[in-house]
Amino acid sequence: MFRHSQLESVKAWIANPAHAAMPLHARIQRAVRQLIVDGALGPGKPLPASRALAVSLGVSRDTIEAAYAQLHAEGFIDRRVGSGSFVAEITEFTPGRRLPRRDTFPSDQAPALSRRGAAVFSGGGVREMPVPRPFAHGVPETRTFPLALWERLERQVRKEVGAQSLFHGDPQGTEPLRRAIADYVNLERGARATADRVLVLTSSQQAMALCAGMLFDPGDGIFLEDPAYYGARKAFEAAGLDCVPIRVDRHGIVVDQILAEPRRAKAVFLTPSHQFPTGATLALDRRLALIEWAALHRSWIIEDDYDSEFRYAGKPTACVQGLDPHGRTIYIGTFTKSLFPGLRIGYAVLPPQLVKPMTVARTLLDGHTAPMAQLTLARFMEGGHFGAHVRAMRGVYAERLDVLAGLVGKHLSDFVEPQVPIGGLQMPCLLTGGLAERTAVDAARRAGIELLGLSALHAAGDGKAGFLMGFAAYTPFEIETAVRTLEKAFRAATKP
């Protein structure tokens, strides 16, 4: 018979709410198995007779028989007719071979990661809020998205394509979507794209990770805007690259610093249409200078065109990729900002020689993007719905930006100076009073408001203090409520 402590251990296992979904015989089987694995029941030890154990646990004998039968099938016990059930002779669990408990690894011990793994982990990754709250940046309005239209198009695709959409997709992306993307960026962004040069991905972040892993070796240099998009810096640093910060002014990245040391890096990462986070647009002469630099030194330009659809003043400038006759520019785009984050579709327009290598590398990551979503998006774009949605949202976002700028000027002028952008989904604000950036961000978070500090986006973390305020996903009423809350939080934080 089990000792009292062993019997109580089995009873505790059965009664544990975490195991409630298991059938009763499975709970008993797992409890006895754990006693064997832990060494509490050694090899050759007899188990209680099924009738006696059933009485002790208050269950039927059939339940115990089912548990014992499973233990026997798994090799944990031997059953001998006329003799009973015994713990099997399992070498791995004999006392001489078991690892002493004091030598096992504690659950809180740091894992033995590779250098690259440690860099990825220490970088903290890129986290997004599942349900955004003001003023989380980079989040589009999703509540007014034409979901009924999307579902209708999805049903059409499912009816026409059938089970084919349930299989593995083309790693490069479905041809209809690649064609629709090429047509769109050629028309709206002045790109040089064809369907066979488009690689459909899950996100722009994946595109940056692919570039980092496929184009560079650890220790290679890459010029990076300073301040820069944190996801890009983390992707390149995780790959072991030497990120060389290049100052940004009101005309974008200062190319003189690149031309002064042209061989220090093998690439430059840009957000030229709407620099993150300053909002600056890269001047044409600087674009042309970078294109010539890349051609002369066989370097790469990685262009992230993350939210160029939303421009509220002036005419949009052509993308760098469209100006580059030498094929040294990799153009990255995403539908996360223009449609909705849950779509998980981004893309890269690649130079012809990179299409096959990048596609092969993509098969080692996630293989392919879901065909159903791709085909639905292709139909959404082909039918003119994408353009219509972007135009509608452009008007909505322009109004919300005006509301936010006015409310910040009215309620937060003692603390910040808004830098009203000509496009995008967020507005930078520079702190002008005595309120420290960390204090401001922490005070806002305690009040239920999300702000992204600006100084941490600079390479040395010593840029101008301030924060980003996303506005696209929030109604004028929500913006006003949040600004008033922020004012109270800031005033409370500055009280002696």
**146-150 mean pLDDT:** 97
DSSP string of 243-274, one letter each residue:
EEEEEEETTEE-THHHHHSTTS-SEEEE--SS
Residue 389 pLDDT exceeds 60: yes
Exposed/middle/buried for residue 167 (C-beta within 10 Å: 0-12, 13-18, 19+): exposed
Summarised one tens digit per residue, pLDDT across range 260-316 is: 998 999 999 999 999 999 999 999 999 999 999 999 999 999 999 988 889 888 777
Q: Under a CB-based contact definition with an 8 Å cutoff, are residues 490 and 440 in contact?
A: yes
Least confident of 158-162, 165-169, 448-452, 486-490: 165-169
Helices (H), 255-344: 256-260, 284-297, 320-323
Q: Is the pLDDT of residue 157 over 80?
A: yes
Model's pTM, two decimal places? 0.81
- Residue 93 pLDDT > 60, yes or no? no
Confidence at 441, pLDDT banded by 50, 70, 90 = very high
Cβ atoms of residues 113 and 121 within 8 Å: yes
Mean pLDDT to the nearest integer, 14-35:
87
Which span out of 226-230, 406-410, 433-437 was modeled with the highest average pLDDT?
Answer: 406-410
pLDDT surpassing 60 at residue 92: no
Distance CA 74, CA 77 (A): 8
| pLDDT, tens digit, 9 for 90 and up, residues 301-322 | 999 998 888 988 877 778 999 9
Omega before 421 cis (within 30°)? Answer: no
**What pLDDT, on a 0 to 100 scale, did the predictor assign at position 396?**
97
Between 114 and 102, name the one with better pLDDT.
114
The whole-angstrom distance between residue 365's C-alpha and the CA centroid of its chain comes to 14
Who contacts 129 (Cβ-Cβ below 8 Å, separation ≥6)? 136, 139, 450
Once rounded to an integer, what is the mean pLDDT over residues 403-421?
95
Rounded mean pLDDT, 229-257: 94
Q: Return d(Cα 44, Cα 241) in angstroms, integer.
A: 58
Q: 356: which residues sit within 8 A by CB, 6+ positions away?
A: none
Closest listed residue to residue 419, CA positions, set 297, 294, 277: 277
Residues 6 or more apart from 166 whose CB is under 8 A from it? 372
For range 69-74, the mean pLDDT:
88
Give yes or no for residue 75 having a pLDDT over 90: no
Q: Is the preceding peptide bond at 415 cis, omega within 30 degrees of 0?
A: no
The model's confidence at residue 96, banded by pLDDT at 50, 70 and 90, is very low
Q: How many CB atoms lie within 10 A of CB 383?
A: 12
Q: What is the pLDDT of residues 164-205, one digit of tens each?
A: 888 889 999 999 999 999 999 999 999 999 999 999 999 999
> Which residue's entry shows tokens 């004091």?
102
Categorize the per-residue pLDDT at 94 as very low, low, confident or very high, splitting at 50, 70 and 90: low
* % of the chain residues with pLDDT over 90: 66
Residues 6+ apart with CB under 8 A from 26: 67, 70
Q: Which residue has the higher pLDDT, 322 or 36?
A: 322
Checking if the pLDDT of 36 tops 80, the result is yes
| 174 burial level (CB within 10 Å; 0-12, 13-18, 19+) | buried
pLDDT at 129: 65
- Would you state the pLDDT for residue 404? 97
